[in-house]
Amino acid sequence: MDDIHHLYHNDFGIAFQWKKDALREDSSKKIQLIFRDTGFYLEPEEILLFSKQIKSAKRMHSCENCDSTPSCRNILLSTPSKHIDLAVSKNELTMIDDLIKGTLFQINLNGFLNKICTK
């Protein structure tokens, strides 16, 4: 754990930044998001896009006449990676949403604190 900056975690996943990436001067300071059996290596703008895709997925309806449980993976979640969509349950979508929101909050807070501390 010495080679990462922990950003946020919940019972479903974790978001962190590799220290080697955090030291970069350019704008592509990528964040590693890991949940379920999947890892994404995303720029902050892609995480924001993912948040919007989650909001869209939350508006989707279940299959017609479906009395599925909240653990049924009947929601198709688009990701910032064009070629990857995930089948998730309502419960998983809630946990991914929390992970993304917490990560975005921490990214924004860190940016704000860095601006204050450099003045």
Residue with tokens 């949940």: 35
Note the pLDDT of residue 25: 63
Query: Span 78-86, mean pLDDT?
Result: 94
Contacts of 38 (CB under 8 A, 6+ apart): 86
Quote the pTM value. 0.85
Beta carbons of 73 and 88 less than 8 angstroms apart = yes
Is residue 92 within 8 A of residue 74, CB to CB? The reply is no
Q: 118 pLDDT band (50/70/90 cuts)?
A: confident
pLDDT recorded at residue 60? 79
Q: What is the DSSP letter of 37?
A: T
HEC letters along 40-93:
EEECHHHHHHHHHHHHHHHCCCCCCCCCCCCCCCCEEEECCCCCCEEEECHHHH
pLDDT level of residue 105 (50, 70, 90 thresholds): very high
Question: What residue type is 58 in one-letter code?
Answer: K
- pLDDT, one tens digit per residue, over 64-74 is 667 777 778 88
Are the CB atoms for 31 and 16 separated by under 8 Å?
A: yes
